[in-house]
C-alpha cells in the first residue's frame, strides 16, 4: 500500500492537517481494529495529509507489540496509499527497533520516534539511540523532541545528516531553541539551503502556537482537533497556510485558546478529552487504558459546547 516517494517529499508541501488517530477499544477492552479502519478512512476523506498511527494520541504506551502491528496494518489498509502512514515507536533502543520492524512489516511509510523510556540521556547517547533506530529499517524517521529528549542545535544538525532521519517534531516549545536549531540545520556543512529536513510543531493543540512556529519556518503540525472536529481543523489549516490572519485569530480566540485551557484542567486530557470528542461525533472508540483516566463529565460537557462554538465561528 505504501507509496514509493520518500516520506520527506510527501510531507514537504501538505494540503491539510496531520492526523493523529486515537486507538479504539471495544467493550472487552481489546483493540477494535475495524473501528480504527473507519476512523482512519474518515480522516483521510476529511482532508488529512498524513496519518500518524499509534503515537501519543494513539496511546502507543498502552499497546502490546501484536496490538501495535495490527493497528499499523489497519491504518495502512484504510489509507490505501492516498496519504503516508507514520507509526510511533519508542522505549529503549532494542524495543524501539522491534516496534520499528513491526511497523515496516505492516506497511508503514515512516516512524515517529518517541523519547526513550525513563532515562535522561546526554546528547551523545541520544544520538546513538536514534542513529541505531534509523539504521534498523528502511523507513524514514522523524525524531520527537520533548520531555527527556531535548536536543542542542548541533545534535539536530547531526541527526539531519544521518541517513534515514528526515525530521524533528518539537513538543518542547522553546521558540528560541527552535530558531537556533532550524538555523543550524539550514547552514550545516553540505546542506545547501537546509536540504529537505522537516520540522514539525508537536505541542499539544499545536494550532494555538501555529502562527509563532510559522514565524520560525515551521509550518507542519500535528492536529488532535482533527480527530473530533475535522472541519474546524481544516479551516484553521487553510487560513494559516493562506495568511488569513483574521480567521486564524477568530478561531484561536473563540475555540483553540479555550480548548487549551480546558485541556489543562486534567492530567492526560491531551488523549482522554480527544477520545471523548471522537465519541461525541458518533464513533464509539471506547475509553482510555490505564494509567490514563476518563475526563470529568462537566469537562466533556464543556468540550461539546466548545465544538459547537467552533462550528458557529466557521459559519459566521
Cis amide bond preceding 291, omega within 30: yes
In a domain, 297, yes or no: no
- Which pTM does this prediction carry? 0.95
In a domain, 238, yes or no: no
The single residue of 25, 99, 144, 269 carrying the catalytic annotation is 144
The CATH number assigned to the domain holding 59 equals: 3.20.20.70
Predicted local confidence at residue 134, as pLDDT:
98
In a domain, 205, yes or no: yes
The single residue of 169, 221, 269, 275 carrying the catalytic annotation is 169
Which pLDDT tens digit goes with each residue over 63-88?
Answer: 999 999 999 999 999 999 999 999 99
Q: Is the pLDDT of residue 147 over 90?
A: yes
Task: List the beta strands (DSSP E) in the chain.
Answer: 18-19, 50-53, 85-89, 110-113, 140-145, 165-170, 198-201, 220-223
CA distance 49 to 18: 5
Predicted local confidence at residue 12, as pLDDT:
87
In a domain, 243, yes or no: no
In a domain, 183, yes or no: yes
Phi-psi region of 270 (alpha: psi -120 to 50; beta: other; left: phi over 0): alpha
Active site residue 169: yes
CA-based nearest residue to 238, from 49, 51, 50: 49
Residue 43 contacts residue 226 (beta carbons within 8 Å): yes
Per-residue confidence band for 121, with pLDDT thresholds at 50, 70 and 90? very high
CA distance 80 to 91: 29
In a domain, 254, yes or no: no
Domain boundaries, position 194: 16-228
Which pLDDT tens digit goes with each residue over 234-252?
Answer: 999 999 999 999 999 999 9
In a domain, 241, yes or no: no
Domain count, the chain: 1
Active site residue 144: yes
Per-residue confidence band for 1, with pLDDT thresholds at 50, 70 and 90? very low
In a domain, 23, yes or no: yes
Predicted local confidence at residue 308, as pLDDT:
98
Beta-carbon contacts of residue 2 (< 8 Å; ≥ 6 apart): 76, 81, 84, 85, 107, 108, 109
Amino acid at each position: 500500500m505504501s507509496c514509493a516517494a520518500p516520506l520527506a517529499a510527501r510531507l514537504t508541501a501538505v494540503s491539510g492537517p496531520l492526523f493523529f488517530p486515537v486507538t479504539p477499544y471495544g467493550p472487552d477492552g481489546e483493540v477494535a481494529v475495524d473501528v480504527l479502519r473507519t476512523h482512519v478512512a474518515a480522516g483521510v476523506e476529511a482532508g488529512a495529509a498524513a496519518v500518524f498511527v499509534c503515537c501519543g494520541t494513539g496511546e502507543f504506551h498502552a499497546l502490546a507489540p501484536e496490538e501495535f502491528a495490527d493497528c499499523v496494518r489497519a491504518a495502512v489498509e484504510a489509507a490505501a496509499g492516498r496519504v503516508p502512514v507514520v507509526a510511533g515507536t519508542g522505549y529503549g533502543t532494542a524495543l524501539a527497533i522491534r516496534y520499528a520492524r513491526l511497523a515496516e512489516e505492516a506497511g508503514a511509510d515512516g516512524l515517529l520516534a518517541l523519547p526513550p523510556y525513563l532515562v535522561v540521556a546526554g546528547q551523545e547517547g541520544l544520538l546513538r539511540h536514534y542513529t541505531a533506530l534509523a539504521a534498523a529499517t528502511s523507513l524514514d524517521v522523524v525524531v520527537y523532541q520533548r520531555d527527556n529528549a531535548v536536543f542542542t542545535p548541533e545534535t539536530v544538525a547531526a541527526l539531519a545528516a544521518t541517513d534515514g532521519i528526515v525530521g524533528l517534531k518539537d513538543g518542547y516549545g522553546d521558540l528560541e531553541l527552535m530558531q537556533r536549531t532550524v538555523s543550524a540545520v539550514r547552514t550545516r556543512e553540505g546542506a545547501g539551503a537546509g536540504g529537505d529536513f522537516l520540522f514539525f510543531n508537536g505541542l499539544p493543540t499545536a494550532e494555538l502556537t501555529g502562527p509563532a512556529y510559522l514565524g520560525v519556518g515551521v509550518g507542519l503540525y500535528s492536529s488532535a482537533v482533527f480527530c473530533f472536529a475535522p472541519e474546524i481543523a481544516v479551516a484553521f489549516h487553510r487560513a494559516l497556510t493562506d495568511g488569513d490572519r483574521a480567521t486564524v485569530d477568530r478561531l484561536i480566540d473563540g475555540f483553540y485558546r479555550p480548548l487549551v485551557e480546558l485541556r489543562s484542567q486534567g492530567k492526560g486530557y491531551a488523549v482522554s478529552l480527544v477520545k471523548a470528542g471522537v465519541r461525541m461525533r458518533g464513533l464509539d472508540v471506547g475509553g482510555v487504558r490505564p494509567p490514563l483516566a476518563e475526563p470529568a463529565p462537566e469537562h466533556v460537557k464543556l468540550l461539546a459546547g466548545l465544538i459547537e462554538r467552533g462550528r458557529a465561528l466557521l459559519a459566521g
